[in-house]
Structure 1
Amino acid sequence: MNNWNSTAALAPGHIDIHAHLLPEDCYDIPAVDGVRSLTERDGELYLGEFPIAVTRDQISGVPRILADMDAEDIAVRVVSAPPYAFAVTAEPDAAGDYARRVNEGLMRMCEKHPDRLIPIGVLPVQDRSATVEEVKRLVAEGVRGVAVPPVVGSLTLGDPELSHVLDSCADAGLAVLVHPTQQPRPGFNHHYLQNLIGNPVESATAIASILLGGTFDRTPALRIAFVHGAGVAPALLGRWDHGWHMRGDVSADSTRPPSETFRNHVYADSLAHSVEAGELLCKTVHPERITLGSDYPFDMADAHPVRSATALGLDQEVLRTNALRWLNLT
């Protein structure tokens, strides 16, 4: 078993819960139509024909991430596979095999630096039994959490058909990081709108389905964090509350208004991209559930996350304590 189970060995200082690494031997990703591969062109990586705006060194280089952490005063990073490595369209057997390989690779990459890098796994979410098996394996290896998509095909994370994902994580005590996958949507064909609008909408969709679906009534111990400042959810909570009070079909599966459950249960990282959005985030998320997040090393990352958190008046020790609580390392 690897040892990511103690705070004693962790470097003191900021903990960034939202950063990415991918083992080089996991560049061939199973998909519904075969395999989608990361390839290198002129020093930049492409997923098929899509430029992902990172280099091999950034997404797969442990020395590089450590050096970049030092430059930004980040002591510890929780690292997860990038969202295109969730393999959500693959056949269950292929997804399960790929998840195991990604998780084993991430553990290998981090095992020499347990004071600086904490890996969290991926799951074959499209298959109930495979998800449960991988959760058990990660727990046995001492892994603290998993990263999962907010939307899988036509299903949202809070839908009954995906209840096995959050239920198995809650039962096992694993932290959950929800990261959008930039799914194609009508009208998002140009100007990177799949990311600029699609990603925060994906996150909010999952949050709404979890709050309104009564997930926290069923699994109150679930520790779940949403990246990118919880997407557009903070701006929509009032609308969701209004619908909950006015319509029986909205409130049918939950016992409390969405904003109340959101504040009492949901973690979010600090990556809001503006002071105004960050201030709204701080008003809607409980102070004990805001964590530092960067989205390293992607183009939509905050290059100076500590500086941005400081501008919002967020305290280093509070952010660190919140991250440790989410990881169940307090």
Structure 2
Amino acid sequence: MTSIDSATLRSGNVDIHAHLLPAECYRIPTADGSVDVAEIEGELHLGCTPIAVSGPQLSDVSLLLRDMDEHDIGVRVVSAPPYAFAVGADAARAAEYATHTNDRLLDLLAPYPDRLLPLGVVPVQDADAAAAEMQRLAAAGVTGIAVPPVVGAAALGDHELRHVLHSAAAADLCVLVHPMQQPRPGFTAHYLQNLIGNPVETASAIASIALGGLFDIHPDLRIAFVHGAGAAPALLGRWDHGWRERDDVSADCATVPSEVVRSHVYADSLTHSDAAADLLQSVLDPDRLLLGSDYPFDMADPDPVASARSRAFDLDRLRGNALRWLGLTREPRSEGTT
């Protein structure tokens, strides 16, 4: 893969949140072996769990491009789905799988450098292996990585995982944080692992990074959170109150959390409601809002451009923000359009 130049990208809207997994990467390492992604009666399953897409939807680039053409999307940033993070595997097998997945994804997208931009995965279990894979990706011209917000009991800003952010900053890679709907008590029915678990995982990562002082250490870290920053926008007032009232909340964070989040956090537009979109736009810097679809999954917005337009997002600004987040342009922030 050659280095990406923003001048060669297709014009139009940039969707930063879409997924593809090469079919060669359907065997995912786990703690006790592996789990296969397999198609059963037209639907892919992760082991025994249905994942609401077909094999072609997850792996066929032509379908992804057709969806882009039908919905006014010029460029898509493509990452593996979160189960490909392989967080349950040992470090060596996770590193091997990450390299394999990244190489296959780059091969799959290589014919479309003006339209499809890959994000890599890294073995978050091992700091040295993760850093080495990031340096390899950067040398190959990849602009960023996708990582989980929470692994086990640790959130991304906690000491066990913050090495990922240190290494991403050192490699000048952007970061896309995508939840994994990890099992937890009380979320077993009604798809609550996704409907509630995903937004909570995302909020946990944002809080751990903001309150943990990571943006003081890496003020230029380019980190984006999908699903409209999850539950975080609705919780900022509570975080601010805790920061004012409790020393253990403010110990590592010199600035009120809502200001830290507003100044540093990128988030996509995938909120599923007008009210949530209004809240998101009220708490984040408008230069940190991005377009996101979650293609091809069941919780995707099938027409993200139309949704963003109807919710008063500035589409031209979203494109400029995406290029800045990707590190493809360093010009001063735009003032937007009316």
Q: TM-score of the superposition, structure 2-length normalised?
A: 0.97
Corresponding residue number in structure 1 for 2:333: none
Q: Would the alpha carbon gap of residues 204 and 47 (structure 1) be closer, same or farther in structure 2, given more than 3 Å must change?
A: same
How far 1:5 sits from its partner (Å)? 2.0
Query: Conserved in 2, the CA contact under 8 Å of 1:126 and 1:152?
Result: no
Query: Conserved in 2, the CA contact under 8 Å of 1:237 and 1:259?
Result: yes
Deviation string 1:249-283 (CA, Å, 9 cap, x unpaired) is 00001110110000000000000000000000000
Matches within 5 A, 1:107-256: 107-256=106-255
Please state whether the residue corresponding to 1:303 is helix, strand or coil.
Answer: coil
Corresponding residue number in structure 2 for 1:15: 14
In structure 2, C-alpha distance between the alignment counterparts of 1:316 and 1:235, rounded to whole Å: 24
Query: Conserved in 1, the CA contact under 8 Å of 2:4 and 2:113?
Result: no
Corresponding residue number in structure 2 for 1:91: 90
Query: Conserved in 1, the CA contact under 8 Å of 2:211 and 2:250?
Result: yes
Amino acid at match of 1:316: L
How far 1:208 sits from its partner (Å)? 0.4
Matches within 5 A, 1:270-285: 270-285=269-284
In structure 2, C-alpha distance between the alignment counterparts of 1:199 and 1:261, rounded to whole Å: 22
Corresponding residue number in structure 2 for 1:265: 264
Amino acid at match of 2:190: H
Deviation string 1:173-229 (CA, Å, 9 cap, x unpaired) is 100000000100100111100000000000000000001000001111100000000
Amino acid at match of 1:328: G
How far 1:4 sits from its partner (Å)? 4.3
Please state whether the residue corresponding to 1:162 is helix, strand or coil.
Answer: coil
In structure 2, C-alpha distance between the alignment counterparts of 1:4 and 1:109, rounded to whole Å: 16
Amino acid at match of 1:36: V
In structure 1, C-alpha distance between the alignment counterparts of 2:132 and 2:141, rounded to whole Å: 15
CA RMSD of aligned residues (A): 0.6
Amino acid at match of 1:272: T
Amino acid at match of 2:86: A
In structure 2, C-alpha distance between the alignment counterparts of 1:315 and 1:180, rounded to whole Å: 26
In structure 2, C-alpha distance between the alignment counterparts of 1:258 and 1:105, rounded to whole Å: 39
Matches within 5 A, 1:281-292: 281-292=280-291
Corresponding residue number in structure 1 for 2:38: 39
How far 1:3 sits from its partner (Å)? 2.4
Please state whether the residue corresponding to 1:40 is helix, strand or coil.
Answer: strand
In structure 1, C-alpha distance between the alignment counterparts of 2:3 and 2:53, rounded to whole Å: 28
How far 1:312 sits from its partner (Å)? 1.4
Amino acid at match of 1:22: L
How far 1:84 sits from its partner (Å)? 0.4
In structure 2, C-alpha distance between the alignment counterparts of 1:33 and 1:286, rounded to whole Å: 44
Amino acid at match of 1:235: A
Amino acid at match of 1:172: A
In structure 2, C-alpha distance between the alignment counterparts of 1:7 and 1:253, rounded to whole Å: 37
Displaced runs of 4+ in structure 1, greater than 6 A?
none
Matches within 5 A, 1:73-84: 73-84=72-83
In structure 1, C-alpha distance between the alignment counterparts of 2:138 and 2:115, rounded to whole Å: 20
Query: Conserved in 1, the CA contact under 8 Å of 2:176 and 2:225?
Result: yes
Deviation string 1:281-326 (CA, Å, 9 cap, x unpaired) is 0001110000000000000000110011001111221000000000
In structure 1, C-alpha distance between the alignment counterparts of 2:38 and 2:160, rounded to whole Å: 34
Which structure 2 segments of 5+ residues have no match?
A: 330-338
Please state whether the residue corresponding to 2:7 is helix, strand or coil.
Answer: coil
Corresponding residue number in structure 1 for 2:296: 297
Amino acid at match of 1:197: I
Query: Conserved in 2, the CA contact under 8 Å of 1:4 and 1:114?
Result: no
In structure 2, C-alpha distance between the alignment counterparts of 1:243 and 1:325, rounded to whole Å: 32
How far 1:33 sits from its partner (Å)? 1.9
In structure 2, C-alpha distance between the alignment counterparts of 1:161 and 1:205, rounded to whole Å: 14
How far 1:171 sits from its partner (Å)? 1.2
How far 1:138 sits from its partner (Å)? 0.3
Query: Conserved in 2, the CA contact under 8 Å of 1:150 and 1:206?
Result: yes
In structure 2, C-alpha distance between the alignment counterparts of 1:51 and 1:174, rounded to whole Å: 33
- Between the aligned residues of both structures, percent identity stands at 61
Which structure 1 segments of 5+ residues have no match?
A: none
How far 1:102 sits from its partner (Å)? 0.6
